[in-house]
A and B are shown apart, each in its own frame.
Chain A
Amino acid sequence: MHIKSKVYNNTLYVILCGELDEHSATHTRMTLDEAFSGRGFGQVIIDLSELEFMDSTGIGVLIGRYKKMKSKNIPIYIANPSTHAEKIFKMTGLYEIMPKIV
């Protein structure tokens, strides 16, 4: 898993590249938390256009990040999910806490 991030226009953009499973979960959590701990943004967009695989471990990782950012009142949005990731998001209700943006 490789994670790219940048702040632009009051938004933290995070791009997840690779596979998100149990093996990559710890690294993903740590890298996202590091990016989220920065300043200069009022919302986060997680771009999944380069995510090649995700199972339900990814849902746990995303919900964990949501809980952390909720205490700072910073919303997280999901962009460019694959149809496969979307299936898991809809099944688990993730979009109710991290809406999809077009």
Chain B
Amino acid sequence: MKTNNFMEVVFKAESVNEGFARVCVASFCVQLNPSIDELTDIKTAVSEAVTNAVVHAYPRGNGIVKLRCELIGGSVRIEVSDEGVGIKDIEKAREPFFTTKPTEERSGMGFAVMESFMDKVEVEKNGLKGTKVIMQKQLNANARVVVGE
């Protein structure tokens, strides 16, 4: 399907950038005229994916997170990718309450929240290293983006 508009940003994998990532995607999606609830769903899903990259991808620090957002008709497609250590067992990682850091008060609900708030969530290896999370959500039926008008 044809992409109507897209944006990409790359930022350091630091927790201080989570808020930036949320606001960045939400601001971009505003052109689809989403509801407040839809925007909050998207911000939460983005926050979960970026948090995973910040917390798990780079045990030695100094990593990057890439955020790509595409508007396709009335839906939004978001990719959150890193170039870190990758996820050993993706299926296991997606199970509710599963965490590799049980001593750190982590809920293990990140992927469950993404799946609940978005229509579709895919998790795959990001080329040779790292992880890519791809999420899609159909916004309200009247939303359409027209570039160039």
Bound-state CA distance A53–B1 (Å) is: 33
Select A91's contact among B37, B104, B113, beta carbons within 8 Å: B113
Stretch at the interface among B39-47, B62-70, B85-93, B137-145: B39-47
**Contact between chains at A55 and B51 (CB < 8 Å):** yes
Q: Does B3 contact A (CB under 8 A)?
A: no
Select A55's contact among B16, B37, B44, beta carbons within 8 Å: B44
Bound-state CA distance A82–B19 (Å) is: 19
Question: Mask for A55-73, Cβ within 8 A of B = 1, else 0?
Answer: 1110111011000000000
**Contact between chains at B105 and A60 (CB < 8 Å):** yes
Tell whether A22 pairs with B54 under 8 Å between CB atoms, given A61-B105, A84-B44. yes
Range class of the B interface residue count: 20 to 34
On chain A, the residues within 8 Å of B41 by CB distance are 84
Select A92's contact among B19, B105, B107, B117, beta carbons within 8 Å: B107
Tell whether A55 pairs with B105 under 8 Å between CB atoms, given A21-B18, A21-B19, A22-B51. no
How distant is A88 from chain B, measured CB to nearest CB, in Å?
6
Q: Does B72 contact A (CB under 8 A)?
A: no
Bound-state CA distance A29–B112 (Å) is: 23
Bound-state CA distance A22–B51 (Å) is: 7
Select A63's contact among B19, B48, B107, beta carbons within 8 Å: B107
Bound-state CA distance A84–B53 (Å) is: 23
Tell whether A57 pairs with B107 under 8 Å between CB atoms, given A21-B18, A21-B19. yes
Bound-state CA distance A87–B149 (Å) is: 38
Q: Which residue of A lies closest to B43 (CB)?
A: A53
Segment 61-110 of B: residues with Cβ below 8 Å from A:
104-107, 109-110
**Contact between chains at A88 and B113 (CB < 8 Å):** yes
On chain B, the residues within 8 Å of A60 by CB distance are 104-107
Q: Which residues of B contact A (CB under 8 A)?
A: 15-16, 18-19, 22, 37, 40-41, 43-44, 47-48, 51, 54-55, 104-107, 109-110, 112-113, 116-117
